[in-house]
Amino acid sequence: MSPVQGGFSRAVSSITAGAAVVDVTPAVGAAMSGFVARSSPSTGVHDPITVRAVCVEDTALVTVDVVGLHEDFCAAVARGTSLPAENVRVHATHTHGGPASVPGRLGDEADPVWLESLEASCINAVEEALQNRRPARLLSGYGIEVGVAQNRRRPDGPVDRSLPVAQLVDSDGHPIAVLASYACHPVVLSADNTLLTADYPGVVRRVVEQRSPGAVAMFLTGCAGDANTGHAASASVSLRANDSRTFAAAEAAGTAIAAAVAAAPLKPCDGPIAAAVGQTELTIDADPQVAEASRWGEIAADPNSDPAAAALMRCWANWAARTAASAPTTWTARVGVLIWGGIRIITLPGEPFARTSLDIRAALDRSTGSGMPHHGNGATFVVGYTDGCPGYLPPACEHPHGGYEVLEAHRYYNLPGPFAPDSATRLTQTALTLAAQVATPKPGQSKATNAS
């Protein structure tokens, strides 16, 4: 583990902040990603696919309306801005209604020309947000529980019900940006949908911006690997329409979350601006079911098989042909911490589960001496899908329950096997180490943090 790869911590008497939005909606006909069962390209656009950037001092958060981003893409964006690379975080909202976006993973149909333009758009969004910076104040708090997220693996499973909110306003009180995070898969729409969409996060942002004219709304998807609006992962292996998975359902979910964001009691947040990133090596285990590859191929080739099930088996059989002989390996995870005044933003890669965010938030709250969640100067955001999306990262306690996320999803992600059971613990430890090592300077002092 490399706890602090680079970063800084600086006390400031006042801050500057800016935001920007860039429309990156591809042409109709672009390949979509998010469902093995869906092979049709996009047939239209329901709502825009966007890049959003928020800069506070010389740190930046970038979000992209796609199911995931490769770690090399995120690193290229971070290197391409005028900011220090370690101060830039690149997050995928994880919409399952967006364009294919991860070369070699999740369908492997990403258009390289569009990805090149997307990288430029992410960099341009950061630069525009930097140009837009003006004196600002930070406020934060938590919205009430909205009941949208459900544990999709089992009824008694944990759910992260936190709804952290941050608002940036200028010296005249005009809004600059509103940030909100919620741990629920943006998979309200099912595999039968072929319209490009940001899913419910797009609704949240639209409604928030309507209520706060002039603000850029940013939605950050929390640790949602085991949470959605109430269906099992297996329900997505179907091309049939589902009355509970419609644009109306996405509208209802997003509107409920946006209402809680608008009603959240916000308080001023003061303190240093800080950033740090660290790396940890995660082990990839062997697939315990690879011996069944021939059966997968038989099901895929059977003309009587359900088309969606056949598509799934074809994906698995193709995966086995490509990667089954690969030896278990490791993957380097990038974990980040941003401190904006009293607001803590913990960024994790891949698809972490609710237990990981609950453990991190509880540990950070204990470290402040509050002993209770949500106490302290500012809200704590714990988000996934940032700086790379290699697959699901279930905690060790979820492995005995098996299921798609533990035993099968790595095939769609084109990894040799699932991540080892200690992976979530390693992410948690790295995040907490980073948070502890970002020193709080005395007023008027500045401290750079560089260690390995």
String of DSSP letters for 205-258: HHHHHHHSTTPEEEEEEBS-TTEESS--GGGGS--S--TTSSHHHHHHHHHHHH
Is a pLDDT exceeding 50 seen at residue 33?
yes
- In whole angstroms, give the CA distance from residue 9 to residue 129: 21
Is a pLDDT exceeding 90 seen at residue 322?
no
- In whole angstroms, give the CA distance from residue 282 to residue 292: 26
Percentage of the chain lying above the pLDDT 90 cut: 79
- In whole angstroms, give the CA distance from residue 145 to residue 148: 8
Is a pLDDT exceeding 90 seen at residue 14?
no
The whole-model pTM stands at: 0.93
Task: Please give the pLDDT value at position 171.
Answer: 92
Task: Please give the pLDDT value at position 150.
Answer: 97
Task: Please give the pLDDT value at position 448.
Answer: 34
Query: Residues 145-167: what's their mean pLDDT?
Result: 96
What is the SS3 assignment for 316?
helix
Confidence of residue 324 (pLDDT cuts 50, 70, 90): low
Is a pLDDT exceeding 70 seen at residue 439?
no
Asked if 125 and 177 count as a contact pair (C-beta separation under 8 A), the reply is no
Task: Please give the pLDDT value at position 108.
Answer: 75
Task: Please give the pLDDT value at position 47.
Answer: 98
- In whole angstroms, give the CA distance from residue 218 to residue 207: 12
Tell me the domain boundaries of the chain.
14-272+347-388, 290-323
Among residues 242, 151, 257, 149, the alpha carbon closest in space to that of 203 is found at 257
Please give the span between the terminal C-alpha atoms of the chain, in angstroms, as a whole number.
8
Task: Please give the pLDDT value at position 374.
Answer: 38
Residue 80 CB neighbour total at 10 angstroms: 17
pLDDT in tens, 353-373: 999 999 999 999 776 543 333
Confidence of residue 437 (pLDDT cuts 50, 70, 90): confident
Is a pLDDT exceeding 60 seen at residue 445?
no
Range of weakest confidence among 10-24, 77-91, 377-391: 10-24
Which residue is associated with the tokens 């109709």? 28
pLDDT in tens, 300-312: 999 989 999 999 9
Is a pLDDT exceeding 50 seen at residue 375?
no
Task: Please give the pLDDT value at position 451.
Answer: 29
Is a pLDDT exceeding 70 seen at residue 219?
yes
DSSP-assigned states of every residue in 145-183: P----EESS-TTS------EEEEEEETTS-EEEEEEEE-
Is a pLDDT exceeding 90 seen at residue 7?
no
pLDDT in tens, 52-95: 999 999 999 999 999 999 999 999 999 999 999 999 999 999 99
Asked if 3 and 437 count as a contact pair (C-beta separation under 8 A), the reply is yes
Among residues 50, 331, 60, the alpha carbon closest in space to that of 209 is found at 50
- In whole angstroms, give the CA distance from residue 94 to residue 215: 22
- What phi and psi, each to the nearest 5 degrees, are found at residue 139? -135, 150
Confidence of residue 12 (pLDDT cuts 50, 70, 90): low
- What phi and psi, each to the nearest 5 degrees, are found at residue 49? -95, 125
Integer angstrom CA distances of residue 302 from 59, 290, 292, 307: 53, 20, 16, 10
What is the SS3 assignment for 2?
strand
- In whole angstroms, give the CA distance from residue 436 to residue 431: 9
pLDDT in tens, 92-151: 999 999 999 999 999 878 999 999 999 999 999 999 999 999 999 999 999 999 999 999
Is a pLDDT exceeding 70 seen at residue 337?
yes
Sign of the Cα torsion 314, 317, 318, 319 reads positive
Confidence of residue 23 (pLDDT cuts 50, 70, 90): very high
pLDDT in tens, 385-417: 999 999 999 999 999 999 999 999 999 999 999
pLDDT in tens, 225-274: 999 999 988 888 888 888 889 999 999 999 999 999 999 999 999 888 99
